Structure 1
Amino acid sequence: MNTLTVYKLGRVEYEDGLTLMQRFAEARKQELIGDSLLLLEHSPVLTLGRGAKRENVLASDELLASEGVDLYQTNRGGDVTYHGPGQVVGYPIFLLPKERQDVRRYVRDVERCVIDSLAEYGLHAGIIPKWPGVWLGQEGAPDTRKIAAIGIHISRWLTTHGFALNVNTHLPHFNLIVPCGIREAGVTSMKRELGHLVSVPDVEDTLARHFCSVFESERRESGVSVRTVSITVLRGHGPEARVLMVRRIPERGGFWQTITGRVEPGESPEQTAARELKEETGLDVPVRALDYRHAFALGEILPPMLVEETAFVAWCPEGHEVRLSAEHDAHEWVSPNTALERLEYRGLREGVKRAVALRGELTGG
């Protein structure tokens, strides 16, 4: 029997998700891994498929920025859609066997997995042939509403992209677009239909079970290989707030970043953050969690090495002299905007944004 390895990754920034998907696809093509199902949540983002019309994005760039919503062009099918927290995104990375090499059949099978999963919650969903996705209500009815988007890409029978099921999704963000270019129907979520919050991990487990059933596969579980932390160090507040940037030595990449480090066996992320902060800067101050944990692929390693990173913030007392470790050759205190411009990785940028926002809340500006 075919095997299907299920990865429950939690929060994944969209650009990191694209990289993950590409790494898994390349590893599958090289037969370094078997079929995989990546289950995750994205930060708020609009994605434009190959058939997207820009006018279906109703919001201005300024409004998107104020709402914290990014915009990306992708190679999947379909028009524009929204991803955000509380929505389960699934990326099936399958190398379809000869007997399943039928695009329409594959789309129907993905839809069936979602429909069968919703049925377990008492939600009777179906398809509307002229519109992509999974729907509640009948075609032409005034209450017809989409609960899951489908957008796939197949190249030489290797599948990428997939589906997005609204579980506890922030539905007002769909007002920023014409979802999938369809003006005649609305959008809903499991939370809205059921009247209460729904456990995302439970939904992921249900989806994984139905994917294994529909695609006749034996389920396997996998997760992250490495756990790391990031620490945004701040001093000052308001317009005078500054972020500590450190530069790696050339042998370690030569790029600017905030403080990062690997969680060692027996350590909690909080313990790691405090240790790394002292080792890398000489600071011995409390660290505070930022309620932000995300996953990404490390480098270009195949099969992909998965990392889960937890973000923290620490405040540097005025007058403290930063003492760098041998891993870094320079440091600078820069404005938050400069830090965001310099940081290459979205996860580190998100940590800085959250740290600065928290500083503002605590100091009143």
Structure 2
Amino acid sequence: MTTQTASKLYKQAVSALIVIHTPDLQVLLMERTDFNEAWQSVTGSREGDESLEQTARREVFEETGIDACMYSLRNWQQSHDFEIFEIWRHRYAPGTTHNTEHVFSLEVPIALEVTLAEGEHRRFKWVSWSQAAEMVFSPSNADAIRSLPERCAH
């Protein structure tokens, strides 16, 4: 199997996490369909040779219907390595156990209605940043949400 063929079969172990929020720090969370009560921000793997910003914009649109080009997308220049949950490792090349996640935020003017990606998320809600940090299942997602007040104060 060529490297190009493998890249089409498997997800890249490089992803973007995008915390979508309002100016008063209401945060958009979505519940996964494949992991009951698992709430999260927008996240997804890079495809091909797209930039991390392109990945972030694409994932926001695919998962919410929001056009990130219309709002302020900020690359935090921050990344985390984490172990991929066993239930999702089959999506990656054999032997891949860790992913590098790059953090972004997207400020929208109000809590927008979103169009969820069918089969990926079952429902969404806007909650305060402190509540969102407690609800998400991913520690890196919770850390990003907890740092929103400081990040947005600048």
TM-score of the pair, normalised by structure 2: 0.78
Q: Deviations over 1:15-61 (max 9, x none)?
A: xxxxxxxxxxxxxxxxxxxxxxxxxxxxxxxxxxxxxxxxxxxxxxx
Cα distance change of structure 1 residues 248 and 290 upon mapping to structure 2, 3 Å threshold:
same
Which of the pair has more CA radius of gyration?
A: 1
**Number of the residue aligned with 1:229:** 16
Match of 1:257 among 10, 17, 40: 40
Runs of 4+ in 1 over 6 A off after TM superposition: none
Extract unaligned runs of 5+ from structure 1: 1-224
- Which runs of 5 or more structure 2 residues have no equivalent in the other structure? 1-11
Amino acid in structure 2 at the alignment position of 1:344: F
Deviations 1:58-78 (A, max 9, x none): xxxxxxxxxxxxxxxxxxxxx
How many corresponding residue pairs? Answer: 132
Structure 1 residue corresponding to 2:113, chosen from 309, 321, 324: 321
1:253 maps to amino acid: F
The answer to whether the Cα contact below 8 Å between 2:19 and 2:104 also exists between their aligned partners in 1 is: yes
Counterpart among 18, 29, 32 of residue 248 in structure 1: 32
Q: In structure 2, what is the Cα distance between the partners aligned to 1:305 and 1:274?
A: 25
Match of 1:307 among 85, 99, 120: 99
Equivalence for 2:7: none
The 8 Å contact of residues 290 and 355 in structure 1, kept in 2 or not, is answered as no
CA deviations on 1:105-145 (whole Å, 9 max, x unpaired) are: xxxxxxxxxxxxxxxxxxxxxxxxxxxxxxxxxxxxxxxxx
CA shift for structure 1 position 319: 6.1
CA contact (8 A) 2:26 2:111 kept: no
Q: Work out the CA distance in 2 between the residues paired with 1:356 and 1:284.
A: 24
Identity of aligned residues (%): 30
Aligned-residue offset at 1:289: 0.8
TM-score relative to the length of structure 1: 0.34
Greater RCO (CA < 8 Å, at least 6 residues apart): 2
CA distance, structure 1, for counterparts of residue 113 and residue 138 of structure 2:
27
Q: CA deviation at 1:279?
A: 1.3
Measured in 2, the distance between the counterparts of 1:319 and 1:288 equals 18
Q: Compute the RMSD of aligned alpha carbons.
A: 1.8
1:298 aligns with 2:91: no
Preserved CA contact (<8 Å) 1:248 1:329: yes
Q: Does the CA contact (< 8 Å) of 2:15 and 2:100 recur in 1?
A: yes
Distance change in 2, residues 1:271/1:318 (3 Å): same
